Amino acid sequence: MVDKDVVRDGYDELADAYAAQREAVGDGIDALAALLATLPSDARVLDAGCGQGVPVLERIESAVTGVGADISRGQLALAAENVPDATLTQADVTRLPFADDAFDAVTAYYSLIHVPEGDHQQVLDEFARVLRPGGRAIVIEGTNEWRGSNPDWLDSGTEMQWHIVGPEATREQFRTAGFEIREERVVGSSLDEEGDWQLFVAEREA
Ligand SMILES: C[S@@+](CC[C@H](N)C(=O)[O-])C[C@H]1O[C@@H](n2cnc3c(N)ncnc32)[C@H](O)[C@@H]1O
């Protein structure tokens, strides 16, 4: 079972170690570029679980208005350095402190995978709530259902925990939240072997 305090404290501790090995290559950034190309310059995009702000929030902010939310203050401190013009908020993705219909798009790269069992539907419900009708969400999940922890993630001596519900459950949860899935494919990541991650682009029903 994922403990949010362990995840938050872990990302506070791991902020530099995680940032050091996070690379943009091959991890679905092309989907973000395609989405940003469809948005007007006054659009607002939420990066949910923005981490250190690179490579996702910085790309958002360079095209439109970027808002980053993360549970970890350590990650947000790095994001403030990396993307100084973005608005940053400490928040849990299961309870977003934003109004209904506040965003044109939402991104969640590798953050849904840290949400405790039973909370994933609530996150997608929150994405639907804060998105305007027709707004899109990009989410990266795992290709296989898996839950576990690593007491020494990235050789940092810090524990990290995951609960990956897998593509089938994610598909169903998107539909329950009122999304239509527009694109779904396997992408690689610098964090693990290629093929461990599944990218979804989903559109909130109008
Ligand atoms: C693997 S990192 C991904 C960061 C960034 N999106 C990226 O692509 O590099 C996961 C991020 O999700 C955040 N996170 C985990 N659980 C969260 C929650 N319940 N609410 C908000 N952020 C959360 C972590 O603090 C961490 O910054």
For residue 189, pLDDT over 80 is answered with no
pLDDT digits over 79-123, tens only? 999 999 999 999 999 999 999 999 999 999 999 999 999 999 999
How many structural domains is the chain composed of? 1
8 Å CB contact between 159 and 6: yes
Determine the Cα–Cα distance for residues 79 and 81; give it in Å rounded to an integer. 5
> Using an 8 Å Cβ cutoff, are 72 and 78 in contact?
no
- What CA–CA distance (Å, rounded) separates 12 from 89? 15
> CATH no. for residue 110?
3.40.50.150
**Degrees to nearest 5, angle at CA 127 with 11 and 5:** 25
- How confident is the model over 40-54, as pLDDT tens digits? 999 999 999 999 999
Which of the listed residues 3, 5, 11, 46 should we mutate to test ligand 1's pocket, taking the one with most ligand atoms within 8 A of CB?
11
Q: What range defines the domain where residue 189 resides?
A: 4-204
Which DSSP helix (H) or strand (E) runs through 192?
Answer: none
What is the atom index within ligand 1 of the atom nearest the CA of 108? 6
User: What's the predicted TM-score (pTM) here?
Assistant: 0.96
Q: What angle do CA 175, 178, 182 make, to 5 degrees?
A: 65
